[in-house]
Amino acid sequence: MNALINDIEIIKAKTTKINDVDFDNLKFGHVFSDHMLECNFKDGKWQAPKVVPYGPISLDPSAKIFHYGQSVFEGMKAYKDTDENIWLFRPLDNFKRINISSKRLSIPELPEDYFMDGLKALLEVDKDWIPKKVGSSLYIRPFVFASGNGFHASPADEYKFIIATAPSGAYFAGEVRVLIEEKYSRSANGGVGFAKAGGNYAGQFYPTQLAIEKGYQQVIWTDDNTHEYIEEAGAMNIFVRINDTLITGPTSDRILDGITRKSIIELAKAEGINVEVRKITVSEVVEAAKKGTLKEMFGAGTAAVISPIAGFGYKNEDFELPKLDDTYASYLKKRITDIQTNKAEDPFGWRYQVK
């Protein structure tokens, strides 16, 4: 059955998978809902988006995504409140950022209505897939990649924009210990570290696997030149609390302008927490750990919101973080998730209702 929502064609799946899903025991990003949004760029313009059944994509072996890596993505979440209202968190920031990423990789930028109206149409069709359990959400993955064919090293002439969704539980379970990287780099000046480019993450996997083999769960990335400055934690922005001051590094060519990061900074300042946005040296963090003034470290990103770090390793030495009863991480995470799920007032205008 076909229908139109906001002039977007809806092609319904013939059957649903929802009855086979255990919504009380969801892994992160393992189960996918019935539909996806699909939009193609060809003949120099983006074609009309459609909501179609979720399923495989057919591509020519010469599609340039396989050879030159033109691919960018975003991460978002949808929530339901107790009245069945659907909410997004700062979605226009995701729209703006996917276009910033696209521009850096020479991918055509998306029209705002294609992104926003397409997303709303998709959520309307698959609204029953949005979990209600506390800590769960519908993870949303918008992405764009080169579908045009050819072995010539140049931008493609055709692209595909897709939004797929996955009902998901918590991203991390248990304590997270990290290794401060001394050799490998996530990104470099003048590169694409500030973009959500697929290749950024592919380059992280090998050093992260080395860290896992040493007993850590993630890597703390340092700058590409000296490895003296802390930059990101795995695929997240990083925050460090020394005494009662919350510190995070400034964004740059190398560091993603995280939406959760921005929200934490703004919220912490509004709550009277002293926040410093500045470069953080590894030696400063190690020294604070030795003195006992390092109170917390945590990663911040869409998937986990806030992921506390229990300890870190550096130069064959391990450092444990203190176990505090009241942490900035737990307080700020609750404040943000309460805003996201419509359990608290939103003085910042971050919450976006899908109607």
Tell me the per-residue pLDDT of 209-239, one tens digit each, with 9 for 90 and over.
Answer: 999 999 999 999 999 999 999 999 988 999 9
The residue among 257, 253, 215 whose CA lies nearest residue 236 is 257
Answer whether residue 336 shows pLDDT above 90: yes
Q: What is the CATH number of the domain that holds 201?
A: 3.20.10.10
How high is the pLDDT of residue 1?
47
Has residue 141 been placed in a domain? yes
Has residue 345 been placed in a domain? no
Has residue 351 been placed in a domain? no
Q: What is the pLDDT of residues 279-319, one digit of tens each?
A: 999 999 999 999 999 999 999 999 999 999 999 999 999 99
Q: What percent of the chain has pLDDT over 70?
A: 98
Q: Are residues 298 and 184 in the same domain?
A: yes
Answer whether residue 355 shows pLDDT above 80: yes
Q: Are residues 81 and 112 in the same domain?
A: yes
Has residue 346 been placed in a domain? no
Q: Are residues 141 and 186 in the same domain?
A: no
175 — pLDDT class (breaks 50, 70, 90): confident
170 — pLDDT class (breaks 50, 70, 90): confident
> Are 176 and 308 a contacting pair, CB within 8 Å?
yes
Q: Are residues 134 and 180 in the same domain?
A: no
How high is the pLDDT of residue 174?
74
Bin 124: left if φ > 0, else alpha if -120 < ψ < 50, else beta.
Answer: alpha
Q: Are residues 180 and 115 in the same domain?
A: no
Q: What is the pLDDT of residues 112-161, one digit of tens each?
A: 999 999 999 999 999 999 999 988 999 999 999 999 999 999 999 999 99
Q: Are residues 144 and 281 in the same domain?
A: no
**Structure-token match 């400034």, residue found:** 250
Half-sphere exposure of 195 (CA within 13 A, CB side): 25
Q: What is the DSSP string of 72-131?
A: EE--EEEEE-TT--EEEESHHHHHHHHHHHHHHTTPPPPPHHHHHHHHHHHHHHTGGGS-
Half-sphere exposure of 87 (CA within 13 A, CB side): 23
Q: What is the pLDDT of residues 231-282, one digit of tens each?
A: 999 889 999 999 999 999 999 999 999 999 999 999 999 999 999 999 999 9
Has residue 43 been placed in a domain? yes
Has residue 283 been placed in a domain? yes
Q: What is the DSSP string of 286-329?
A: HHHHHHT-EEEEEEEETTTEEEEEEEEEETTEEEEPP--SS-HH
Answer whether residue 352 shows pLDDT above 80: yes
Separation CA 36–CA 161 (nearest Å): 10
Q: Which domain holds residue 20?
A: 2-168
Q: List, in order, residues 6 or more apart from 131 with CB less than 8 Å away.
A: 23, 26, 80, 137, 138, 167, 168, 169
Q: What percent of the chain has pLDDT over 90?
A: 94
Between the CA atoms of 244, 248, 249 and 251, what dihedral angle is there, to the nearest 10 degrees?
Answer: -140
Has residue 349 been placed in a domain? no
Q: Are residues 163 and 181 in the same domain?
A: no
Average confidence score pLDDT of the chain: 95
Q: Are residues 194 and 328 in the same domain?
A: yes
> Are 306 and 297 a contacting pair, CB within 8 Å?
no
Q: Are residues 204 and 147 in the same domain?
A: no
Give backbone dihedrals phi and psi of 84, rounded to 5 degrees, phi first.
70, 15
Q: Are residues 299 and 216 in the same domain?
A: yes
The one-letter code for the residue type at 104 is: R
pTM of the model: 0.95
Q: Are residues 82 and 203 in the same domain?
A: no
Domains contained in the chain, number: 2
3-class state of residue 285 by DSSP: helix
Q: Are residues 67 and 164 in the same domain?
A: yes
Has residue 110 been placed in a domain? yes
How high is the pLDDT of residue 5?
60
**Among residues 168, 184, 210, which one ends one of the domains?**
168
**Among residues 151, 168, 185, which one ends one of the domains?**
168
**Among residues 148, 168, 188, which one ends one of the domains?**
168
Separation CA 238–CA 298 (nearest Å): 6
- Summarize the chain as % helix, strand, coil (round to 5): 25, 30, 45
Q: What is the CATH number of the domain that holds 155?
A: 3.30.470.10
